[in-house]
Amino acid sequence: MTDWELGKVRLGADGPVVGRQGFGAMAINTGYYGPTDEAAARATLEQALAVGITLFDTADAYGDGANEQFLAPFLAAHRDEVVIATKFGLADRARGIVNDPASIRAAADASLRRLGVDHIDLYYMHRRDVNVPIEETVATMAELVQAGKVRYLGLSEVTADELRLAYAVHPIAAVQSEWSLFSRDIETQVAPAAAELGTALVPYSPLGRGVLTGAVPSADHLESDDVRRSMPRFSEGNDTANHDLLAPLRAIAAARGATLAQIALAWLHAQERVFGLPVVPIPGTRSSARVVENARGALITLTDEELAQLDPLADSVAGNRYADMRFTSAGRE
């Protein structure tokens, strides 16, 4: 328990009520961002729940299902307290992005087994399979709702047009996209469409994969097998250039007595009033202390002047967020 409240928000018009900040579990046990410690990871999950975080996000592709399995004991202990979100579509490395009906049904059943639950609270299409009409994909997802295997539907990295087509088939509670001070392409079309439909936005990588915390001055500070080393923004030259952009963030953090991460997350929470829709960032961490730090970012209300100081940051970021931008909604708009 804490002496402050994170607060709650509803995902979509009739979706689940969750804490104003969620937890991205991708790296907690998979080694994507370096070595992991099981005891520390489990303590981190408990700390997240203790500060009011109730939305926990995973995917069948994370660690080839190991991430879902890792969460199972936590879910068993706290099933009525948490909202579990998982995703399908990227687990089959040989086939790539797969959204055909049979694969979706099989993926859902496999996730249910690994998570040890009888239903998935929020089920996302992880990436769009352009070979399958999105209406067909969502119709299959809707069948899972009718069957009681899934409660609410979500989409990840979709365009505004794809979201509208999907919503016409079944309500979409949330859209998950990369969104941060360094990644703002969804603001042009996706965020307005989500607001129009009453769909919440769930930003992943809200801290720019660590850059916005100030803790990654260059790729040299990453483990040799850290997945970020393959990303353009962490390539030689881009890494240091992006770190050098943090001066406005540092100034506001110093004036506020806050950390860089808290100000970066406060900026995202401020987008709720800019776009008129729920915004629930899902920062990930392997540290209990960082969970508390991140959650307190939701309590900071930035002024219009502070928002204006941070606004130009994205214009100067070096490198795309992925090597292949077709992997993102921006690559299809």
Q: Which among 32, 33, 62, 124 is annotated as catalytic?
A: 62
By the 8 A CB rule, do 162 and 128 touch? yes
Burial (CB < 10 A; 0-12, 13-18, 19+), residue 83, is buried
Per the annotation, the verdict on 322 as an active-site residue is no
Residue 312 burial (CB count, 10 A): 11
Reported as type and span, the H/E element at residue 275 is helix 260-275
User: β-pairing, 8-10 with 17-19?
Assistant: antiparallel
According to DSSP, residue 191 is labeled H
92/268 Cα distance (integer angstroms): 32
Which alpha helices (DSSP H) does 119-232 contain, by range? 134-146, 160-169, 190-197
Q: What are phi and psi of 86, to 5 degrees?
A: -135, 175
Distance between start and end Cα atoms, the chain = 44
Among residues 14, 5, 26, 326, the alpha carbon closest in space to that of 206 is found at 26
Burial (CB < 10 A; 0-12, 13-18, 19+), residue 84, is buried
Question: Catalytic residue numbers?
Answer: 62
